Amino acid sequence: MKEYPRILFMGTPEIASYILKGLIENEYNIIGVIAQEDKPVGRKGIIEPVPTKKVAMEYHIPCFQPKKIRLEYEFVKELKPDLIITCAYGQIIPQELIDIPHLKPINVHGSLLPKYRGASPIQQALINNDKVTGVTIMEMVKEMDAGKMYYKKEIEIGEDENYSSLYEKMKVCGLEALLEMLPSYIEGKIIGEEQDESLVTKCSKITKEEEHLSLDYGVDKFIGYVKGLSYTPGGYLLLDNQIFKILKASKKNSLIEGKVGQIVSANKNELVLQLKDGQVNLLEVQKQGKSRMSYKDFVNGNKNILNQILK
């Protein structure tokens, strides 16, 4: 283990656990992990350790799970960290905690700042049909994602990319970026660059309401939302008042041949939805209570789908 520095890692979900494990395997000295509280998982609501806690347990590293970090951070002083690294921790971190280590704490953020400060940067890149995204390693400050930028690493967004696939790429990119910049940062060789406030865009957490796809969207925005919400949680419309998830879609044309929301073609070759400025191919779908399936399998089992209206 590298004796220096003593690193305290703060993060909760899978992306954070991947980065944490990568740091450990690269012999960085992780002295503790701070994560959100364990929560019920799945239909049965069984309480399981959060992903970063599982990694901490595997490597016998102390894990702390304060309910409110802004009220419970005194224990960090006793840990004497030289550096704090955060990734998707999930709570606002108080300035008093930020000030504890002698090296400025850093955060792994899933966008090319100053674009997409906030809770849903990976989804927003897809919703807006961006061609490129990436990771920014930045100074942690009290204001969300507003600190100096120390290092950036880009990712190309493929034509068929969705949230699930881009999330996997982002995990790898985040760890690679951190491993590439940490030695220089620890030695004080990275000064950092202030964010241009005129270029800042912000994004909040995806809401339950946004999962219900709007038929007011044009083709491009509709497809962007399908990508940004797939495969989890999955964007949906209503079919016979039941949730009908649309998990993959592509642009077909700019024709207006039916009512908005109408299935205008359904056969072994295609399943086509009419929108206000064109039509989209529905390629993967999921009926409520059923598994994800291709449009072919869906059409085979739903012979009366043609001309039905999705809402």
DSSP letters of 11-36? E-SHHHHHHHHHHHHTT-EEEEEE-P
Which residue from 144, 254, 134, 141 is spatially nearest to 200, judged by alpha carbons? 144
Query: Considering the domain boundaries, does residue 255 fall inside one?
Result: yes
Last residue of a domain, one of 160, 177, 203: 203
Residues 39 and 181 in one domain: yes
Residue 310, domain member (yes or no): no
25 and 138 co-located in one domain: yes
Q: Are residues 159 and 222 in the same domain?
A: no
Asked whether residue 82 is assigned to any structural domain, the reply reads: yes
Residue 196 lies in a domain: yes
In a domain, 307, yes or no: no
Instruction: Walk along the chain (311 residues) in steps of 10 and give the mean pLDDT of each run.
Output: 82 97 97 95 87 97 96 94 96 94 96 96 96 97 92 96 97 98 95 96 93 95 97 96 96 94 95 97 95 95 94 95
Q: Whole-prediction pTM value?
A: 0.93
Q: Are 241 and 267 within 8 A, CB to CB?
A: no
141/73 same-domain check: yes
**pLDDT value of residue 41:** 81
Whether residue 106 is found in the same domain as residue 189: yes
β-strand pairing of 242-253 with 263-267: unpaired
CA 112 to chain centre: 14
Range of the domain at 218: 208-301
How many domains would you assign to the chain? 2
Q: CATH number, domain at 38? A: 3.40.50.170
pLDDT of residue 1: 52
